[in-house]
Structure 1
């Protein structure tokens, strides 16, 4: 369970029944920021397929997280527990050792693909979401 920038609790399980692109990132991670610039187009393309982008930040400072989120004009789910990767239970639970990293999760809640930085998001989503 995490909170968004407004302090509202958001759970991944809230999106059961939809495909979820779970994205792990941080404001200081330039490859993360570069990858995330693709998200608005991806969300638009797969909106009718019930794709939700769920971002989880490993920023420890609320202001840094908020500032970069505003620069990216994030409209998707954007959460954090304000702990760095080495102290985050979420990172441990998902086996995240580096960022950017992520997963595509099925509507049933199963991880169906691990996403790495060099993966083409559009191709990976296209293969998995018919």
Structure 2
């Protein structure tokens, strides 16, 4: 089996990230962490391809954040204005906002891909060295 670290981003106050971190054994009360995973070396590329597809989907979803942040109030009353401001903040790039979470998730997936590729390269080098040693 190929062992690698998957990056788990979360920050104080970010409910979703904290929940993920807690589920993977983190405290959910700070920067981020890693979780150990393993994959069959023959399936590693399929996993990398799936993670790359997830990154592409997150990039597409980032556009939704922009649409929400540019949305106007549905009415002239002050409550609609305050609700719109809250909605924009929630969709924004401040820690805990959707745009922030989206970007952190993409960074984590990109790092996880690098970790898998590194582990796969090390596995192949070890495997090749063992084959060479058996021949000689």
Give the TM-score normalised by structure 1: 0.24
Point out the structure with the larger strand share.
Answer: 1
RCO comparison, higher one (Cα < 8 Å, 6+): 1
Larger Rg: 2
Point out the structure with the larger helix share.
Answer: 2
